[in-house]
């Protein structure tokens, strides 16, 4: 499968557009489980080795094929801020049917923080209004924590 990373830029009319940053071939047919998604982020982006928090979003088609990967935020060793606005601009531009949020904890501890839980709930509510469901939020450290697998989504 081809994993393509995009960023957003403003065109001449100051409208958001998607711009391809990079693309790699990844030896996997589908990213349909938290462990498969974690493996891709660790292999392609080295998320388990990052010294600061990074938040990524993966946009999926209705057949759960990867439409694109987006860096939503890059924070410090303790936190990274995200806004539903930035997530949904990218989702709508890519034509996504669903999405997964994935971020790392540089400490290696995968347990979600209170802020992680609150942001996931906020994104889930916004996703319900937009009709583009949040299917999981994965925290990566020395292993991973899936909100879906743990009944929080």
Break the chain into its structural domains and give their ranges.
Answer: 29-146
Whether residue 147 is predicted with pLDDT greater than 90 in this model: the reply is: yes
- What average pLDDT does the structure give for the chain? 93
**pTM of the complete model:** 0.92
Q: For 22-64, what is each residue's pLDDT tens digit?
A: 999 998 878 989 999 999 999 999 999 999 999 999 999 998 8
Q: Alpha-carbon distance 29 to 27, whole Å?
A: 7
Confidence category of residue 101, pLDDT binned at 50, 70, 90 = very high
> What homologous superfamily does CATH list for 29-146?
Cytidine Deaminase, domain 2 (3.40.140.10)
Burial of 73 (0-12, 13-18, 19+ CB in 10 A): middle
Q: What percent of the chain has a predicted confidence (pLDDT) above 70?
A: 98
């Amino acid at each position: 499968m081809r994993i393509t990373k995009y960023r957003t830029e403003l065109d001449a009319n100051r409208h958001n557009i998607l711009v391809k940053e990079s693309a790699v071939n990844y030896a996997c047919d589908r990213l349909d489980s938290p462990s498969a998604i974690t493996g891709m982020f660790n292999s392609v982006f080295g998320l388990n080795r990052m010294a600061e928090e990074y938040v990524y979003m993966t946009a999926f088609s209705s057949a759960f094929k990867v439409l694109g990967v987006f860096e939503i935020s890059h924070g410090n060793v303790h936190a990274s801020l995200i806004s539903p606005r930035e997530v949904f601009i990218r989702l709508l531009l890519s034509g996504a049917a669903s999405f997964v949020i994935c971020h790392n904890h540089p400490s290696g501890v995968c347990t979600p923080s209170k802020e992680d839980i609150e942001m996931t709930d906020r994104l889930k509510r916004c996703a319900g209004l937009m009709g583009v469901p949040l299917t999981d939020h994965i925290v990566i450290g020395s292993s991973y924590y899936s909100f879906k697998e743990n009944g929080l989504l």
